Amino acid sequence: MTPAGRLRERLAREPVVGVIGLGYVGLPLAVAFAESGATVIGVDADPRRVSGVNAGSSFIEDVSTETLQALASGGRLTARGDIEALKDADAIVICVPTPLGKSREPDISFIIAAADAVATIIRAGQLVVLESTTYPGTTQEILLPRLQARGLTVGADFFLAFSPERIDPGNHEWTLRDIPKVVGGLTPACRELVAMLYARISARVVPVSGPETAEMVKLFENTFRSVNIALVNELAIMCRTLGLSVWEVVSAAATKPFGFMPFWPGPGLGGHCLPSDPYYLSWKLRLAGYEPRFITFADEINRQMPLYVVQLLTDALNDRGRAVRGARILVLGVAYKANVADTRDSPALEIIERLVAKGADVAYHDPHVPAITVGGAPLTSCAAVRPAEHDVVLILTAHTGYDWGAIVAEAPVVVDTRNATAGVPDAARVIRL
């Protein structure tokens, strides 16, 4: 039987699936494969994550400790710190970080390290899938030559594909199972086998012509969001200039049943994907001699939003005869989005750092984030929300559970960047983005 035939049989039954990287993407993926009946081996360089998985202690909000304990104790999911653990795996999925460098250029060093590691154990009959967000061409230019260096032929001996992760942390409506899975294999056999793998955990698999297309799909999805968020952020500035409410404008526009999709303004972009992914695309395009103007302009607008929020708060204090220096400011929410603990690239961190640099006395409360570091200094979340003890309350993340009516009633003034206080009486106290 051919390697493809053997792998096809394994994927249809109880395959061994290896997952490299047990973070926000890798751990939920490992859990999903384990729940599908596969035996899953996770590999991570962080010994704390390895010990946490093996102990059944979840460090990801989208994975419950109860679920992880059941899978770990039943032997369905284990974690290791060495790549040798995956030598007998039928499929190896790479879910490592892809950050930006100091000059905002793509940093694919984690992908290279993972590819080099897999190359030391690759054997006939294995499927390797890259899920890490990256520029078009990475799978073929970075992974393929390293894996073929051992004398194996892609599409005949081993199989290679790209499938973009689409996880939305904290979203309980659209889960890993519900979100269609785009897959791009390097050859027809690769495409068939990667579709079989993900059919175990996804209700719908969407095959595309190749890895480059799948890589571009992910970048386009997040660039689409970035550009439209930039548009509505600029709209917020324009509306304030004209004395209008951007929230009312967008809400009314959203009643159009075709040709419109609502996006909402905010204090800036956050999370791992949106601030970074468009740069992967623009970098690749510049190498090809094309300047992506929409991406550049959208980035300029989105990156200025934290500064705009600081100015909005400064004006609110000035109108009440107060300076920022010495003002007591209570920030509500520092996670990049509501109801999660993720502070990666959260605009709240930059806003707090700017306010502290101006001499403000800043405290914060976030039920999901007990501690942060801003400008090298540690801050801990307030034990309770006491708006009356501060000169201004700044809403940066609209977590569920806050009593917005009580906050508006007690605070001298509220600067609301998320429209969290919509419908609350005493609108004169509230300054919205």
Residue 142 near residue 290, CB atoms below 8 Å:
no
Can you tell me the distance from the alpha carbon of 327 to that of 319, in angstroms, rounded to the nearest whole number? 13
Give the pLDDT confidence score for residue 271 in this predicted structure.
84
**Identity at 302, one-letter amino acid code:** N
Buried b (16+ CB within 10 A) or exposed e, 152-163: bebbebbbbbbb
pLDDT along the chain (433 residues), means of 10: 93 96 94 96 96 92 91 95 96 95 89 97 97 96 96 96 90 88 97 98 97 97 95 97 96 97 95 85 92 92 96 95 96 95 94 96 96 93 95 96 94 96 82 92
Give the pLDDT confidence score for residue 412 in this predicted structure.
94
Q: Of the listed 190, 239, 273, 382, which one is catalytic?
A: 273
| Domains within the chain, CATH numbers bracketed | 3-209 (3.40.50.720), 229-432 (3.40.50.720)
Can you tell me the distance from the alpha carbon of 115 to that of 320, in angstroms, rounded to the nearest whole number? 58
The torsion angles phi and psi of 121, rounded to 5 degrees, stand at: -125, -5
Give the pLDDT confidence score for residue 272 in this predicted structure.
79
Q: Active-site residue 273, yes or no?
A: yes
Q: Spell out the SS3 assignment of 103-172.
A: CCCECCHHHHHHHHHHHCCCCCCCEEEECCCCCCCHHHHHHHHHHHCCCCCECCCEEEEECCCCCCCCCC
